[in-house]
Structure 1
Amino acid sequence: MDVQFLGGAGEIGRSAVLVDDRLLLDYGMASESPPQYPVGDVDPEAVVVSHGHLDHVGAVPALMGAGDLPPVHWTPPTRDLAVTLAEDTLKLHGSTPRCPFTETDVRRLTQASRTHGYGETFEAAGYEVTLYNAGHIPGSAHVLVDDGETRLLYTGDFHTGRQRLVEATTARPEADAVICESTYSDVTHEARESVEQQFVESIRQTVWQGGTVVVPAFAIGRTQEVMLVCAAHDVDCYLDGLGQRVTKQFKRHPEFLRDAEALRGATSGTRFVNGKAGQRHRIAAQNSVIITTSGMLNGGPVVSYVPKIRTNPTNKIAMTGYQVEGTPGRELLERGRAEFDGRVMPVSAKVESYDFSAHADRDGLLDFLGNYRESEIVLNHGDRCGAFAEELRADGYDAQAPELGDVITF
């Protein structure tokens, strides 16, 4: 089995792994400026997508050009998210060369879609493939590929810890080789219960003091997790941005949620913002909690809220996700200012960061890989894959970290 790494090798973003030039595992894009796509030309017989985040599914519609449509296999939530992200990408970049697909390609993608549940084995490009819960977001999957001689496990993104939105991964299928994400290979997450308590106490204090809290959150997964935290602690909040649509989609797939009733309750107790500028202006002036996209402050309704609350030190911006270098969110955390609408604005409001990560940390990765000491380990989806591979080799693993474009034979 020959496996080529077209993206995600030594980097986070544009994940793409090609098996024997036939089966493509993920085909994502990195939301940089300009966007970055996997390298090389591919014409797969079939595609399997691990989950519905942009860096894993964002470029899949580009595979739907003229000719036969390769079937695209995924879970039902991942299918819905893929279409949502494609439509959002077209809205942002559709009239520029930055977007490699069209509205027609997105329509063809729905025709090529084949959905599967966890534990269901199906055929794709001549391989037997099975999806297992990865505990990352609703519908996220480990992908097991079996050619009759070699069993390859592609982890996708996964989490071994507790979240309110989805159950942690417990699947450990037998595998001869494992392609494992390594996003947080040098990080230990603080206990989720402690993070939640600090977050809730902080935003309650701000509202009690008469301030407004803006909570930038990724639309897929993080928004719903924060909603569930707020609902569990009786914190009233508003919801704005793409997270509204994603929340409705998740509710249609209760079997992929840890507690569907809890999400329904959180949704009914959250006030959805209709997107009108006047309503946003009024909400920002209240002492309220506003969950809104984008999570890195590089677009979406958050760019309307932050300038309105930034001058009052009683107000607060509570970051809930990793801030990539070069984004306004990273600039705000490090320098206390950020660029909005072409203007660099100082922010006097308090800025805090909370680790609600949906990825396994170092302990989680080591716990997971402990089940595969006799397997070949390949590390991707991280900015220190080589260093982590070296650490694993020192502990007796057969581990390596490919570079972009490399081919590994199992």
Structure 2
Amino acid sequence: MEVEFLGGAREVGRSAVLVDDALLIDYGLLTADPTQYPVRDPEPDAVVVSHGHLDHVGAVPALVKGDRRPAIHWTPPTADLTRTLARDTLKLHGTSPRCPFSEEHVARLGEVERRHGYEEPFVVSAGGTDYEVTLFNAGHIPGSAHVLVDDGETTLLYTGDFHTDDQRLVSGTTARPDADAVICEATYADVTHEDRQAVEQRWAERVQTTMWEGGTVVAPAFAIGRTQELMLVAAANDLTPYVDGMGIEVTRLVRQYPDFLRDTEAFRQAKGAARFVTGRDGQRERIAADNELIITTSGMLAGGPVHSYLPKIRGSPTNAVTLTGYQVEGTPGRELQDHGRLAINGQVRPVSARVESFDFSAHADRGGLESFLASYRDARVLINHGDRCEAFAADLREDGVDASAPALGERIEI
């Protein structure tokens, strides 16, 4: 079995791994200016997608351009999340010549998709080989999966993004299928997460204190996973948030798949308690001035309704902005986090509102990665999807693991 890293190698974004020039696992994009796509345009016979985040599925509709019709395999939530993200991409970048697909290609996904549950093996024919593929719960977001590929001689486990600890939205991964080789993400390979219960308590206390003092809290959040997690944390602490942006559509979508949620009843109650913003008749301006908790996209402040709220609340130290996800270098969220300022309508403005960061990560940290890989000490381990892949691989080698960090475009025989 040969694997080629078309994206996600020694970087976070545009994940894409090609097996035997025929079976593609993930096909994402990297949000940058300009947007970056995998390093070449493959023509696979079949595709397996690990989960519905932009850096793993963002370019998938481009795979059905022209007369190409590879079968695309994924879980039901991932199928729907991919369409939601694709249409949002078209809304933002559809007129750009660099956008590699159109609404027609998104519609074509229905012709080729195959939906699968966890731990239900299925056969994928690609390049003259019949691969047995099994998806396992990866504990990242609803529908996220580890991908196990068996060609009859070699077994490859592609972890996708995963978390070993429970979140309120989804349970942590417990799957450790046998494998000869593992392609393992390393997003937080140099981080130890704060205890999740402590993070939740600090966040709830910040929200409560700010509101008691007469302030408004804006909680920027990723639409997929983080918005719903914060809704659950809010409900558990008797907080009634407003929810704005694409997170509203995603919340309604994942509600349709109770088998992929940790606690369906808790999610139903959290959804029922939240108030969804329509944006009509100055609603956002009223909410911003009305001593409320607002959970809204985008998580890194790069666009979306958050830009309606921040200009209204930035000037008062009574208000608060709670950053609940990793802020990538170069994003407005990182600028706010590091320097307390924000570009608004082309002008850089200071932010007097309190800004605090909370680690609600849906990825395994260093300890989680090591505990997961403890089951694969005799396997070959290929580290990807991280900013410090080479350093993590070197640490694993010192511990006796056959580990390396492939470069972008590199082909490896396993």
**Which band: TM-score by shorter chain?**
over 0.9
Whole-angstrom CA distance in 1 between matches of 2:266 and 2:116: 25
Whole-angstrom CA distance in 2 between matches of 1:33 and 1:177: 34
Match of 2:85 in 1: 85
Instruction: Write out per-residue CA displacement over residues 301-340 of structure 1, whole angstroms, 9 at most, x where no aligned residue.
Output: 0011001100011000000000001110000011110112
Matched position secondary structure for 2:135: strand
Match of 2:317 in 1: 313
Whole-angstrom CA distance in 2 between matches of 1:235 and 1:330: 27
Shift of 1:276: 2.5
Whole-angstrom CA distance in 1 between matches of 2:244 and 2:41: 38
Match of 2:294 in 1: 290
Match of 2:56 in 1: 56
Whole-angstrom CA distance in 1 between matches of 2:297 and 2:95: 23
Match of 1:34 in 2: 34
Matched position secondary structure for 2:148: strand
Matched position secondary structure for 1:330: helix
Match of 1:232 in 2: 236
For residues 231-310 of structure 1, what are the structure 2 equivalents within 5 Å? Answer: 231-276=235-280, 278-310=282-314
For structure 1, the 5+ residue unaligned runs are none
Query: Does the aligned pair in 2 maintain the 1:162–1:192 contact within 8 Å?
Result: no
Matched position secondary structure for 1:114: strand
Residue 170 (structure 2) pairs with residue 166 (structure 1): yes
Shift of 1:277: 5.7
Query: Does the aligned pair in 2 maintain the 1:241–1:275 contact within 8 Å?
Result: no
Query: Does the aligned pair in 2 maintain the 1:141–1:155 contact within 8 Å?
Result: yes
Whole-angstrom CA distance in 2 between matches of 1:90 and 1:209: 41
Tell me how large the CA RMSD over aligned residues is. 0.7
Whole-angstrom CA distance in 1 between matches of 2:397 and 2:345: 48
Whole-angstrom CA distance in 2 between matches of 1:262 and 1:152: 36
Whole-angstrom CA distance in 1 between matches of 2:32 and 2:110: 26
Instruction: Write out per-residue CA displacement over residues 141-163 of structure 1, whole angstroms, 9 at most, x where no aligned residue.
Output: 00000000000000000000120
Shift of 1:236: 1.2
Query: Does the aligned pair in 2 maintain the 1:28–1:57 contact within 8 Å?
Result: yes
Whole-angstrom CA distance in 1 between matches of 2:349 and 2:243: 24
Whole-angstrom CA distance in 1 between matches of 2:299 and 2:344: 14
Match of 1:208 in 2: 212
Instruction: Write out per-residue CA displacement over residues 325-360 of structure 1, whole angstroms, 9 at most, x where no aligned residue.
Output: 111000001111011221211100000000000000
Matched position secondary structure for 2:282: helix
Matched position secondary structure for 1:196: helix
Shift of 1:292: 0.1
Whole-angstrom CA distance in 2 between matches of 1:351 and 1:178: 39
Whole-angstrom CA distance in 1 between matches of 2:353 and 2:408: 41
For structure 2, the 5+ residue unaligned runs are none
Query: Does the aligned pair in 2 maintain the 1:296–1:323 contact within 8 Å?
Result: yes
Shift of 1:67: 1.0
Match of 2:155 in 1: 151
Letter in 2 for 1:51: H
Match of 2:100 in 1: 100
Residue 181 of structure 1, aligned match among 164, 182, 185: 185
Matched position secondary structure for 2:43: coil
Runs of 4+ residues over 4 Å off in structure 1: none
Whole-angstrom CA distance in 1 between matches of 2:352 and 2:312: 11
Shift of 1:40: 1.4
Whole-angstrom CA distance in 2 between matches of 1:248 and 1:288: 22
Letter in 2 for 1:2: E
Whole-angstrom CA distance in 2 between matches of 1:366 and 1:388: 10
Match of 2:145 in 1: 141
Whole-angstrom CA distance in 1 between matches of 2:252 and 2:34: 30
Whole-angstrom CA distance in 1 between matches of 2:345 and 2:281: 15
Q: Percent identity?
A: 66
Instruction: Write out per-residue CA displacement over residues 85-133 of structure 1, whole angstroms, 9 at most, x where no aligned residue.
Output: 0000000000111311011110111221110000011111221100000
Letter in 2 for 1:225: E
Query: Does the aligned pair in 2 maintain the 1:213–1:289 contact within 8 Å?
Result: yes
Shift of 1:33: 1.2
Shift of 1:41: 2.4
Whole-angstrom CA distance in 1 between matches of 2:254 and 2:32: 27
Letter in 2 for 1:89: T
Pair 1:372–1:277, CA change in 2 (3 A): farther
Match of 2:5 in 1: 5
Pair 1:127–1:8, CA change in 2 (3 A): same
Match of 1:375 in 2: 379
